[in-house]
Amino acid sequence: MHLDDTIVAISTPPGRGGLGVVRLAGPDARAIAAPMLRLKSEWEPNRALFGELVEPDTQERIDEVVVTFFQKPRSYTTDDMVEISAHGSPVVLRHIVELALTRGARLAEPGEFTMRAFLNGRLDLTQAEAVRDLIDSQTLYQARVAAQQLGGALSHRLAPIKQKLVELIATLEAGVDFAEDDVSVLPGPQILARIEAVTMPLRELCRSFAYGKLVREGLTLAIVGRPNVGKSSLFNRLVERERAIVTSTPGTTRDLVTETVALGGIPVHLVDTAGIRQALDEAESIGIRKSLEALADADVVLVVFDLLTMGDSDFELEERTKGRPRVLVLNKIDLHDEGHGVFTRTLPPGTVVSQEVIEEVIETSALTGQGIDQLRKKIVEMAGGAPQQETAFLTNLRQQKLVEDSLSALAAATRAVESNTPHEMLLLDLYSALRPLDEITGATTTDDILNLIFSTFCVGK
């Protein structure tokens, strides 16, 4: 990928809108844009200028535009950059790109603007990944986490850990290089203590991946139960609109109905399923099979019961979901006066349910809304709890794998110290622990990895 040419792309989503933005970046950005613009005032860095988009040859007006010029190095990519805001007609935006291409610009690759920002030192790799996460965010909490990462939260958390490791390496290197000059070498217990001082915060960072992955990707929650226990009504309550069809006829839901909601800042992908029973026809049989597949694939299962119609199939479903992350829900409590623990009192003779199960039962009424807030809180609890104040956590598999590689190398270094391995060999393990930390921020990253990361970005970013 060349950094010395000028690239152009539409930076707003496809389709029609009030405004659309075309972005040019590179040494010739201003020279390429100037002939197609008739501005009301002179070019001035970091200032929005009103003007007209014109045909370069005839000066015929095409549109009214607002143009912003960012002079290097004070731009997103650190190159000269021009952003043209026109009315959001796809025809006009494409024409601006075509005019730029005819004057020597090149069509940008996906993520190329952000890759230039990374390669030019404007962002590190964790910040570049946060740009993508911010664009893809579905909840406000996701956006806040991505914004913190974009500000360098993860890099700042890694910096002191890496610094301790570098200082240990430097000390041991000095002891090896200048042994004849009586430079003191750390004794084994001190080396172990300093390795542990690096290992402990790295372990904590590694553990943060579970929650970071949850924030970034969300979780899938399947609502399962017999027909007519109120699954679709609960689904509608959770999404706060009439998304699924609700009737008094059992077996109304024949296919999976999905919707994403934000609970505790985490995207929860709700799946309303067909009632599980002995199918009455082929269509219902297919729906039930899909329900069982959704149950198997879900991160959390919402098992719904109706007190007034409970039977053996309910207890079979309770057994089927045992051992899974789940929430047991006793629905339609507006139709009876029983209190907590009623689920256990209706069990067949000889059935044993642990106290843990009793505590998991949540009573709701999809009709009146009773218990819905408690149900939401329980789902958030199953998802990992309330949003955490600490936002500097690992959010993707690449980062987590590199931290694990570093921890493995530190474990090898610990074993080397315990077995009195020469420091020259110990240093190999310590350098092996340092390299993955550099790769997290992109200090040392192969071109293949960079291309893989930035290819997932949208064009124009």
Which of the two residues, 351 and 227, has the higher pLDDT score? 227
Q: How far apart are CA 391 and CA 373, in angstroms?
A: 26
Region 111-129 average pLDDT: 90
pLDDT of residue 346: 44
Read off the pLDDT of residues 219-275 as tens digits, 9 standing for 90 and up.
888 888 888 788 888 888 888 766 655 545 555 555 678 888 888 888 888 888 876
pTM: 0.76
* pLDDT beyond 60 at 358: no
Q: How far apart are CA 329 and CA 318, in angstroms?
A: 11
| Predicted confidence band of residue 330 (pLDDT cuts 50, 70, 90) | confident
Q: How far apart are CA 233 and CA 253, in angstroms?
A: 11
**DSSP state letters, 40-85:** SS---BT-EEEEEEE-TTT--EEEEEEEEEE-TTSSSSSS-EEEEE
pLDDT of residue 197: 95
Nearest 10 degrees: CA dihedral of 308, 312, 315, 317? -100
Phi, psi (deg, nearest 5) at residue 157: -70, -35
Please report the domains of the chain, with CATH numbers, ordered by start residue: 7-122 (3.30.1360.120), 134-214+396-454 (1.20.120.430), 218-383 (3.40.50.300)
Region 189-216 average pLDDT: 90
* pLDDT beyond 50 at 212: yes
Mean pLDDT of the chain: 82
Region 124-149 average pLDDT: 88
CA 66 to centroid of chain Cα atoms: 33
Q: How far apart are CA 162 and CA 107, in angstroms?
A: 39
* pLDDT beyond 80 at 394: yes
On whether the CB atoms of residues 270 and 240 are closer than 8 A, the answer is no
Nearest 10 degrees: CA dihedral of 56, 61, 65, 68? 20
Using alpha carbons, select from 329, 318, 271 the residue that is nearest to residue 297.
271
CA quadruple 194, 199, 201, 202: dihedral sign: positive
* pLDDT beyond 50 at 162: yes
Phi-psi region of 369 (alpha: psi -120 to 50; beta: other; left: phi over 0): left
Percent with pLDDT over 90 in the chain:
37
**CA distance to 27, 223, 245, 274, 379, per residue, from 294 (Å):** 53, 9, 19, 10, 17
| Predicted confidence band of residue 3 (pLDDT cuts 50, 70, 90) | confident
Residue type, position 109, single letter: E
Q: How far apart are CA 97 and CA 9, in angstroms?
A: 7
| Predicted confidence band of residue 349 (pLDDT cuts 50, 70, 90) | very low
**CA distance to 88, 104, 181, per residue, from 22 (Å):** 10, 16, 63
CA 92 to centroid of chain Cα atoms: 34
Using alpha carbons, select from 103, 93, 95 the residue that is nearest to residue 26.
103
116 CB contacts (<8 Å, ≥6 apart)? 3, 25, 77, 78, 79, 122
